[in-house]
Structure 1
Amino acid sequence: MVRVSLATLAVAASFYLCADAKPFFLKQTNILDQIEDAQRKNQLESDNVAITIPEQYFEKQLLDHSHDNCGEPTYWKQRYFSYDGSYGGPGSPVFLYINGENIARNTTVVSKGLFFTQLAKKYNAYVISLEHRFYGKSQPTSDMSTNNLKYLTADQALADIANFQDYFTQSRNLSSTTPWVAFSGSYPGMLAAWLKYLYPTRFAGSIASSAPINIKADFYEYMNIVHRGLHYFGGDECTNTLQEGLKQFHALVASDKPEDIATLNKLFNPCSPMKTDLDRMDIEANVMGAYQGFAQENDSADYGLKNVCADLIARDGLSPLEKVAKINALQFSPGSNCTGSDYQNDWVNSVSDITTDIVGINRQWTFQTCNEFGFGQTAAKSTGVFSELKYVTVDRVYYQMCKDVFGITDTDARIAEKKAKYHGLDINVENVVFPSGTIDPWSALAVDNSTHLANPKSKAVYIEGTSHCRDMYAAAATDSGPVVWAHQQIDAAVGGFLGK
């Protein structure tokens, strides 16, 4: 998903744990940030800065699509970007990029870093990027109070897309038979799949990359995949060293002995004294968050899982505990050189401001997870090295925060209702491709090769050795064999959607 790190909200490696940390369980990834990061490193072709895409607005988007026609509906302006430079005219398709918990940007529709724009050029498509309600400049209400956020749901967002599609078709004088294909990854990848399920005739097909549609509250499997990724690159020596370091770290966190507190302070520099088990969860979640970031951004990061393992197995004279502390300190900066350890400040206060935020995503995405999806990334029940972090439980990192911030105490019932509507991995939907990677932490809730898809017209594209949304990167000469294969599969599917 866009990345909010344990005790930190981030979407790229630049958003790490810090003193003003954000709820760790929200760690997700904004693929657009990763693409631009890869372009800056010359891993992908840079965009044409000469092309300027103006922002546009759909002026009459509905606030509440479930409005019962009793009284006048409330409208708001939804931002979008479009590009017709590759459009082949009548009979050619429309490719829709669905934004999620991120700020839409004008570069997406012409980005040379995205595979879907390469496909748009091949298939002569009109390209659109639609911003999600309550993010960026697409603000339906005057503030982000919990009462207003009740309009921030996946169902409302999907209805926004259908309503926008009608508007755009009419305003551009497109034929009603124009084929539309939806693309996105992570949370908006979920929307891409659910869009085709909810409105089967509106879209010819969808590419739902790294889409964790099997929603649940206690997402301990996330850390199992992080463990898998570390083992993939470093073997037993890497994971055994990390497990011993985390075990010793937890012992320090749990101890009230002066000498242990002194060691913890020296190695991890807690931002404030820990007073409760929630504070202890906070510091453990922050340390865990580093590895979440390394795993999620592994495909484009300067420092990824391979580097982590190199540091863990280095013959540098450091103990496993000291190695964990050294890796944790990579997240420090001149303005923030401590490890978050105050639950109230990091998990509650940081997402309690109801002022409309057109730049950040913290409060909105936190609400969505509490209201519909779960995604509490925990450690205590995991089966790998991170199970040593005993304070990182679903009660502390998810249920408590949802209650303290939004007053939501029936999260499980809300998740169950959403899962019952869209059926998790049992979804019966045609013409949806579900790409995911073998070392993507979100793949634990996504379609993979072990999934028995209910509809034979949809398919899994499970990519060896890749992490979150890797298939969304533009095709490049340096791509691995599995990535080349995945792009071929997606290209062939899109061609099939369009009858090519």
Structure 2
Amino acid sequence: MTLSRWLMMILFIDFASSGRVLWKIKARVREAQEQRAQGQAAMLGVSAVQLLEGLIQQPLQHFNRKNAKTFPQRFFVNEAHWNRPHGPVFLYIGGEGLLSKFSVLAGHHVSMAGQHGALLVALEHRFYGQSIIPGGLETQDLEHLSSQEALADLAAFHQHISQKYNLTCRNVWISFGGSYAGALSAWFRGKFPHLVYGAVASSAPVQAKLDFSAYNLVVGHSLRDESVGGSEKCVKAVRESFALLEAALLGGNETQVGKDFRCCETPKSPEDQAELLQSVADIFMGTVQYNEEVGPLTITRICDIMTEDQAEGEEAYHRLVKLSENYRSMEKKSCLEVSWAKTIQYFNQTTDESFGYRQWFYQTCTEFGFYQTCEDSSCLFSHMRTLQTQTQLCLLLFNISQHTLPANIDFTNQYYGGDQPQTHRVLYVNGDIDPWMTLSIVRNGTGEDKHRAVLIRGSAHCADMNPLRSSDRTSLKQARKEIEGCVSAWLKSAAQEYRD
């Protein structure tokens, strides 16, 4: 096979095999956060006995009342902190995955609920977790999956809870969400300002972006940041290691590479080699995105691995191998999965899967983009990860032409306002090493939006939402105080308005 033919094949299938390690890291973070949340809930004396889990039958199509079909949407309620009958309501918005009961039992918003006597409610996102239409996740079903429908679900849920608990306008609603759900929190306030008085949007990518090359640019900056354990030496080693790995694959040494990285199967095909390249890159991407939330892997740790023994002349390639060993040890895996065929099979699952990989990729095709490319010189990883390869997968999986994506993304930004939202009482919270911050709001506005942004030094993705830890950075502790002050000010303002 010629080199040009090899490159064409690897470019075509690259994104089909990307992201699985990153999503596994995300799952590990979520598991760790749930364990911490469980501990916090136990410490506060809050138990599942005080928890209500229920279902609301939602219209499959809010904007087409001729369609009478419905689906069951799961929600949680925690009344333990509620100061009846006029206490506020804190709404936790579910995102692209299974909604946990700890969404109303622990976390920073739960701590604030205790301070303000708030009723805690949470709604799972349609087509994720257990809130999936009977019949699975076929493409024709996914046509009913959108952020617009999700916001309409929230509005219907607001009515359901209001009726169930006899709420009035004196019960002030504040919404909370992180990542995609953070964007939903901001958009819910923007589209339904009569329902939610204020919104906290943590790590919220409110600007849709087709070519999200800035993601890996921030990864590079964060790996260079000495305050979180990075260094220029680390960045140089990472760049060198990927050049050597790619050269080994191009040079026909895939059998040795497979042994070095303990691949579950020898990456002989271009597809499997692309899977390997992306999986190793994901270790860096996931560690940066969730720094200090991923267990033993942190920016400090991976940079130590990538720079140790450098004086003795050990190749960066072998340090990359060692990092992969550390990742497999963390995941308790005997080998690294690099099968492109298994990844495609994973994408095409149409039965209930709690993590929502297929559904989320559908939303990237129809609404958001967010394709984390690596084509420019600033990217530290394999430059074979292009925009074209990723958008072609929309056609392969869902019959969505790549030529329609720019219009889909333009509509999203026009509909919500992109990075110029004309809303107030929305607080955007971001960590400055989080790659997603570039699609959020990180600067304060004017007038009523003078204090709309909190940027946390040395903090990563959605860290402010987690249960408090004594080991949290001072900047993170201070940010939580700012959030608390903002929420308190909203509630005081609302109380004054209703008295007047």
Query: Which of the five TM-score ranges fits, normalised by the shorter chain?
Result: 0.7 to 0.9
What residue is the counterpart of 1:25 in the other structure?
A: none
The match for 2:437 among 436, 440, 443 is 443
Deviation at 1:455, TM superposition (A): 6.3
Amino acid of the structure 1 residue aligned with 2:223: L
The match for 2:92 among 75, 91, 97 is 97
What residue is the counterpart of 2:127 in the other structure?
A: 134
Superposed CA RMSD: 2.7
Deviation at 1:60, TM superposition (A): 3.0
Contact 1:299–1:470 (8 Å) recurs in 2: no
What residue is the counterpart of 2:209 in the other structure?
A: 216
Is structure 2 residue 369 aligned with structure 1 residue 374? yes
Is structure 2 residue 217 aligned with structure 1 residue 247? no
What residue is the counterpart of 2:400 in the other structure?
A: 408
Deviation at 1:132, TM superposition (A): 1.0
Instruction: Write out per-residue CA displacement over residues 210-241 of structure 1, whole angstroms, 9 at most, x where no aligned residue.
Output: 00111112212111111122111231111111
Deviation at 1:267, TM superposition (A): 2.1
CA distance, structure 1, for counterparts of residue 21 and residue 155 of structure 2: 30
What residue is the counterpart of 1:8 in the other structure?
A: 20
User: Which consecutive residues of structure 2, in runs of 5 or more, have no partner in the other structure?
Assistant: 1-15, 494-500
The match for 2:63 among 66, 79, 82 is 66
Q: SS of 1:426's equivalent?
A: coil
The match for 1:419 among 413, 418, 426 is 413
Is structure 2 residue 181 aligned with structure 1 residue 188? yes
Amino acid of the structure 2 residue aligned with 1:135: Y
With over 3 angstroms needed to count, the CA separation of the structure-2 counterparts of 1:394 and 1:173, relative to structure 1, is: same
With over 3 angstroms needed to count, the CA separation of the structure-2 counterparts of 1:49 and 1:89, relative to structure 1, is: closer
Deviation at 1:445, TM superposition (A): 1.4
Moved more, 271-280 or 211-220: 271-280
CA distance, structure 2, for counterparts of residue 142 and residue 54 of structure 1: 29
What residue is the counterpart of 2:223 in the other structure?
A: 230
Contact 2:189–2:198 (8 Å) recurs in 1: yes
Instruction: Write out per-residue CA displacement over residues 312-342 of structure 1, whole angstroms, 9 at most, x where no aligned residue.
Output: 1212743111101111232336985444444
Contact 1:226–1:295 (8 Å) recurs in 2: yes
The match for 1:110 among 79, 99, 105 is 105
Q: TM-score, normalised to structure 2's length?
A: 0.86
CA distance, structure 1, for counterparts of residue 324 and residue 452 of structure 2: 39
Is structure 2 residue 312 aligned with structure 1 residue 354? no
The match for 2:315 among 314, 319, 325 is 319
Instruction: Write out per-residue CA displacement over residues 322-366 of structure 1, whole angstroms, 9 at most, x where no aligned residue.
Output: 1011112323369854444443432x2211122233x33222122
Q: SS of 1:498's equivalent?
A: helix
Instruction: Write out per-residue CA displacement over residues 465-499 of structure 1, whole angstroms, 9 at most, x where no aligned residue.
Output: 01001111234443322112211211111112111
CA distance, structure 1, for counterparts of residue 430 and residue 135 of structure 2: 37
Amino acid of the structure 2 residue aligned with 1:428: Q
What residue is the counterpart of 1:36 in the other structure?
A: 34
With over 3 angstroms needed to count, the CA separation of the structure-2 counterparts of 1:267 and 1:193, relative to structure 1, is: same
CA distance, structure 2, for counterparts of residue 50 and residue 247 of structure 1: 52
Judging by fraction of residues, say which structure has more helix.
2
Q: SS of 1:222's equivalent?
A: helix
Q: TM-score, normalised to structure 1's length?
A: 0.86
What residue is the counterpart of 2:8 in the other structure?
A: none
Q: SS of 2:176's equivalent?
A: strand
Contact 1:55–1:79 (8 Å) recurs in 2: no
Contact 1:29–1:186 (8 Å) recurs in 2: no
Amino acid of the structure 1 residue aligned with 2:230: G
Amino acid of the structure 1 residue aligned with 2:309: R
Moved more, 262-271 or 216-225: 262-271
Contact 1:238–1:313 (8 Å) recurs in 2: yes
Moved more, 49-58 or 220-229: 49-58
With over 3 angstroms needed to count, the CA separation of the structure-2 counterparts of 1:405 and 1:31, relative to structure 1, is: same
What residue is the counterpart of 1:23 in the other structure?
A: none
State the 4+ residue runs in structure 1 displaced beyond 6 angstroms: 42-45
Deviation at 1:306, TM superposition (A): 0.3
What residue is the counterpart of 1:460 in the other structure?
A: 453
Identity of aligned residues (%): 27
Contact 2:21–2:282 (8 Å) recurs in 1: no
With over 3 angstroms needed to count, the CA separation of the structure-2 counterparts of 1:35 and 1:265, relative to structure 1, is: closer
With over 3 angstroms needed to count, the CA separation of the structure-2 counterparts of 1:32 and 1:234, relative to structure 1, is: closer
Contact 2:22–2:282 (8 Å) recurs in 1: no
Q: SS of 1:425's equivalent?
A: coil
Deviation at 1:115, TM superposition (A): 0.6
Contact 1:438–1:466 (8 Å) recurs in 2: yes
What residue is the counterpart of 2:9 in the other structure?
A: none
Deviation at 1:178, TM superposition (A): 1.7
What residue is the counterpart of 1:24 in the other structure?
A: none
Q: SS of 1:427's equivalent?
A: coil
Question: How many residues are treated as equivalent by the alignment?
Answer: 469
With over 3 angstroms needed to count, the CA separation of the structure-2 counterparts of 1:54 and 1:493, relative to structure 1, is: closer
What residue is the counterpart of 2:287 in the other structure?
A: 294
With over 3 angstroms needed to count, the CA separation of the structure-2 counterparts of 1:106 and 1:261, relative to structure 1, is: closer
Moved more, 57-66 or 465-474: 57-66
Deviation at 1:142, TM superposition (A): 2.2
Contact 1:5–1:293 (8 Å) recurs in 2: no
What residue is the counterpart of 2:300 in the other structure?
A: 306
CA distance, structure 1, for counterparts of residue 395 and residue 325 of structure 2: 31
Is structure 2 residue 61 aligned with structure 1 residue 57? no
Contact 2:88–2:119 (8 Å) recurs in 1: yes
Contact 1:221–1:382 (8 Å) recurs in 2: no
CA distance, structure 2, for counterparts of residue 133 and residue 488 of structure 1: 32
CA distance, structure 1, for counterparts of residue 272 and residue 386 of structure 2: 12
Contact 1:475–1:487 (8 Å) recurs in 2: no
